[in-house]
Structure 1
Amino acid sequence: MSFGASIKRDFTLMAILLIPVAIAINFAGGSLAKTLQLWVFLDSIGTYLVAMLAGPWIGLVTGVLSVMLLSVGDPTMLPWAGLAGLMGLVVGVLARRGWFTGWGGTVGGFLVVAAASVLVSAAITTWLFGGFTTSGVSVLTGLIHENTGLSLFQSVLASHVVGEMLDKAASVLIAVLVVRAVSDRALLRFPHGEVFVSARRKARGGSTVGS
């Protein structure tokens, strides 16, 4: 499949209509986490859901748009738009290959997403914000830095391992559970629907897929 055809495949009418719903989910989750100063972000659930159902390119667009809208209330969020888009792209690519059709693949996908997010987010936090942002995970960074012999970057990395692992585990799990709750007929309206429906049919026949 060519690059242009891959992009065109993602942007069906049903997939496009799902974008505002996904952004609303991201906004609600992100606002809750920031208000409660949680050590998680919860602003990617909608992005992952769209990426799993519709593909990597629409996942990328949803991630970037979500953070751009969140940055209206908090401009420090803007540098994370690229990371959000990248994570949507990664989840979409993995979903297209069937990683989220079984629990084994879901765990593997979560680890890939979490590892990439930890490295990129720690770098952005350290070099653009001096190690601390308005998110709750920065509270953990401060605790680690003050009570251990770790450098600032090491403290940021350690705190983000905790924060990102928890956040990505929750975000991926919720998105997968939502997809699993969708009927076969509804799934087939989305670009990746056949991937999940085929896995279900094979599982019903005694085979295992993505696990």
Structure 2
Amino acid sequence: MKTEPIHRTSMWKFKLSAATMTLIPAAVGINYVAKALAEGLKLPVWLGSLGTFLASMLAGPVAGAISGFINNVIYGLTLSPISTVYAITSIGIGIAVGILHANGWFSSARRVFISAIIIAIVSAVISTPLNVIFWGGQTGIAWGDSLFAVMVANHAPVWLASFTDEFVLDILDKVCVAYLAFFIYRQLPQRMVHFFRDDK
């Protein structure tokens, strides 16, 4: 299924319709299960934004941002309190995905890769101050934090080391999630895709 750009003025329209009220909990559930699975298997990625990507692609950046925010709050209250801190990051991811998708940046495998890099930058820029404030600059992922430790040991500024730690992890995570979302979206029935577009 070809991914068609959405009219720029319509991508910001948000209506709490039956379709959206069904999509957001589904997206939150996908985020929750994917993140729990990644943590349980100790994967070097988070995967907790897959539902956010899909919600943004189907219903726009506002729906994606809401899905990501709710998931971080619920996940933080149930499994990992750390997650709540990054609710603002999920909002940024949802908005970035929605804008990129509306402008045709999920229309081909090559464009998806570029989109993933942009989203990773957005995520890292938002997350880095949070990492520094709450965790001394680290992310909690062992190999990323090893890079952070090496940079700090070599007298790199904490902010730069923290951003590098976060960015290398975000690149891997967002590329994985972006392609998963891209392939899932392309398999969805066109009737479903147009249902959310017509609902705006």
> Alpha-carbon deviation of 1:39?
2.4
Residue pairs, 1:144-183, within 5 angstroms: 144-148=147-151, 149=154, 150-183=156-189
Does residue 80 in structure 1 map to residue 86 in structure 2? yes
* C-alpha distance in structure 2 between counterparts of 1:191 and 1:12, whole Å: 12
Partner residue in 2 for 1:14: 19
Shift of 1:23: 1.1
Instruction: Name the stretch that deviates more: 93-102 or 161-170.
Output: 93-102
**Which 10-residue stretch deviates more, 84-93 or 11-20?**
11-20
Q: CA deviation at 1:57?
A: 0.7
How far, CA to CA, are the matches of 1:106 and 1:168 in structure 2?
10
Q: 2:61 aligns with which of 56, 79, 85?
A: 56
**Superposed displacement of residue 78, structure 1:** 1.2
Which residue matches 2:34?
29
Please state whether the residue corresponding to 1:189 is helix, strand or coil: helix
Does residue 1:186 correspond to 2:192, yes or no?
A: yes
Residue of structure 1 aligned with 2:76, choices 71, 79, 85: 71
Q: Using a 3 Å threshold, how does the CA distance of structure 1 residues 52 and 79 change in structure 2: closer, same or farther?
A: same
Deviation per residue, 1:18-39 (Å, 9 max, x gap): 2222111111111122233332
Long gaps (5+) in structure 1: 194-211
TM-score (norm 1): 0.79
- Larger mean Cα displacement after TM superposition, 28-37 or 163-172: 28-37
The 8 Å contact of residues 95 and 192 in structure 1, kept in 2 or not, is answered as: no
Percent same amino acid at aligned positions? 25
Query: Which stretch has the larger CA shift, 105-114 or 79-88?
Result: 105-114
Does the aligned pair in 2 maintain the 1:141–1:156 contact within 8 Å? no
Q: Does the alignment pair 1:143 with 2:146?
A: yes
Q: Distance in 2 between matches of 1:131 and 1:184?
A: 44
Match of 2:143, SS?
helix
Superposition CA RMSD, Å:
2.3
Which residue in 1 is equivalent to 2:3?
Answer: none
Question: TM-score, structure 2 length as denominator?
Answer: 0.83
- 1:183-206 C-alpha deviation (Å, 9 max, x unpaired): 22222111289xxxxxxxxxxxxx
What are structure 2's unaligned runs of at least 5 residues? 1-7
Higher gyration radius (CA): 1
Give 2:104's match in structure 1, choosing from 98, 122, 135: 98
1:96/1:192 contact within 8 Å kept: no
Offset from partner CA, 1:154-182 (integer Å, 9 cap, x none) = 33222212210000001111111011011
> Are the equivalent residues in 2 in contact too, given 1:52–1:192 (CA < 8 A)?
no
Deviation at 1:98, TM superposition (A): 2.0
In 2 relative to 1, CA 37–90 (structure 1 residues): closer, same or farther, beyond 3 Å? same
C-alpha distance in 2 between matches for 1:108 and 1:85: 20
The letter of the residue matching 1:23 is V
Give aligned pairs, total: 187
SS in 2 for 1:115: helix
